[in-house]
């Protein structure tokens, strides 16, 4: 898990999971990579205590992955085939797909590690890269559009294009897929363009996080402060809780990696690296819990189907 001090860190891990997957200088030759079936090496700790520590982290991550796959799979099934979609449920459906792909990739990598392999297929690493960027940008799009609808409600209702949600999701998936494909080509052929891909990713992630924080803070102030104060709807609470979950669970690892890359003397990130990965994976698994928790009526008499609970969470009704 932990890199040696001499390793060359190239950039943030995509939706950082339990392994930092990138090319390390001299870590594996092209011939060795091809001989092992298109694999990417992830340096790990050398001492036995570090190895046991990583095994525990991987086991915990695998349990979270399985829980998240069930939750996100349920959301995908319900929104895809059982629930009538609206403007924001299209975003939620695509976010669930991105989280499902990310968790599926980490499951494959966890199984590889448990089976004794510290090498991961290039295609899995690139899918991890793609799904992380897609999830992050989709979360930004959800928060931004909800913020605009709250600040300019009349303009939003009159001028919003009918298929804006689908168009935005298609564009964001296209961007993520393009970077994922270029990422795969670079690590497969050991091209020098890898640094440029990581730079593009870092810039995109930074701008996305900036817009996400600004729009979420604006939305929070719009709902709860001053003369704008109003009763919150379930959709407001879903969006705010989803963003809060990312800031609490997903952001720390990105900050830790940023410090490690640009200010390594400030914090010994490698020593505590595995601790950061568990909440990051948990971030991808917790969103379905938020939807069903917020959607369930407080004074419901008798059981309520998951379909009705999810539909309730994604409507404008208070």
Domains of the chain, residue spans: 30-295+303-312
Quick check: 258 and 182 in contact, CB under 8 A? no
**pLDDT at residue 194 above 50?**
yes
What tens digit of pLDDT does each residue of 200-223 get? 877 887 888 889 889 888 888 877
Model confidence, pTM: 0.81
pLDDT of res. 283:
92
pLDDT, mean of residues 34-40: 44
**pLDDT at residue 229 above 60?**
no
What tens digit of pLDDT does each residue of 45-68 get? 444 444 567 788 888 889 999 999
Quick check: 47 and 69 in contact, CB under 8 A? no
Quick check: 55 and 280 in contact, CB under 8 A? no
pLDDT of res. 117:
67
What tens digit of pLDDT does each residue of 123-140 get? 888 888 899 889 999 999
Residue 42: pLDDT band with limits 50, 70, 90: very low
pLDDT of res. 77:
94
Query: What CA–CA distances, in Å, run from 187 to 7, 11, 127, 131?
Result: 16, 13, 13, 17
3-class DSSP assignment, residue 240:
helix
Query: What CA–CA distances, in Å, run from 276 to 164, 253, 270, 271, 282?
Result: 35, 5, 10, 11, 11
What tens digit of pLDDT does each residue of 255-311 get? 777 777 677 777 777 777 667 778 889 999 999 999 988 888 776 666 778 888 888
DSSP assignment of 131-195, as one string?
HHHHHHHHHHHHHHHHHHHHHSHHHHHHHS-TTHHHHHHHHHHHHHHHHHHHHHHHHHHT-TTHH
Q: What is the CATH number of domain 30-295+303-312?
A: 1.20.1070.10
**pLDDT at residue 104 above 70?**
yes
Quick check: 201 and 179 in contact, CB under 8 A? yes
């Amino acid at each position: 898990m932990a890199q040696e001090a001499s390793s060359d860190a190239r950039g943030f891990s995509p939706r950082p999971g339990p392994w930092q997957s990138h090319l390390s200088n001299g870590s594996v030759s092209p011939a060795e990579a091809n001989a092992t079936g298109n694999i990417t090496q992830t340096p790990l700790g050398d001492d036995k205590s570090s190895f046991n520590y990583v095994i525990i982290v991987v086991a915990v991550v695998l349990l979270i992955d399985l829980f998240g796959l069930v939750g996100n799979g349920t959301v995908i099934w319900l929104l895809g085939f059982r629930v009538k979609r609206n403007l924001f449920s299209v975003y939620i459906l695509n976010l669930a797909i991105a989280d499902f792909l990310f968790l599926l990739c980490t499951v494959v990598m966890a199984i590889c590690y448990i089976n004794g392999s510290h090498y991961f297929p290039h295609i899995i690493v690139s899918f991890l890269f793609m799904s992380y960027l897609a999830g992050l940008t989709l979360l930004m799009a959800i928060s931004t559009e909800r913020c605009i609808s709250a600040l300019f409600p009349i303009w939003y209702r009159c001028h919003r294009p009918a298929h804006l949600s689908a168009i935005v999701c298609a564009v964001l998936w296209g961007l993520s897929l393009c970077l994922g494909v270029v990422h795969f080509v670079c690590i497969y052929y050991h091209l020098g363009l890898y640094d440029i891909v990581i730079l593009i990713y870092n810039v995109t992630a930074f701008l996305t996080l900036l817009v996400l924080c600004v729009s979420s803070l604006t939305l929070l102030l719009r709902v709860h402060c001053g003369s704008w104060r109003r009763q919150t709807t379930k959709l407001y609470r879903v969006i705010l809780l989803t963003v809060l979950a990312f800031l609490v669970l997903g952001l720390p690892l990105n900050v830790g990696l940023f410090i490690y890359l640009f200010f390594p003397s400030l914090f010994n990130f490698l020593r505590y690296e595995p601790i950061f990965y568990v909440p990051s994976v948990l971030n991808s698994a917790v969103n379905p819990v938020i939807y069903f928790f917020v959607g369930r009526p407080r004074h419901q008499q008798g059981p309520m189907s998951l379909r009705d609970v999810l539909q309730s969470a994604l409507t404008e009704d208070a």
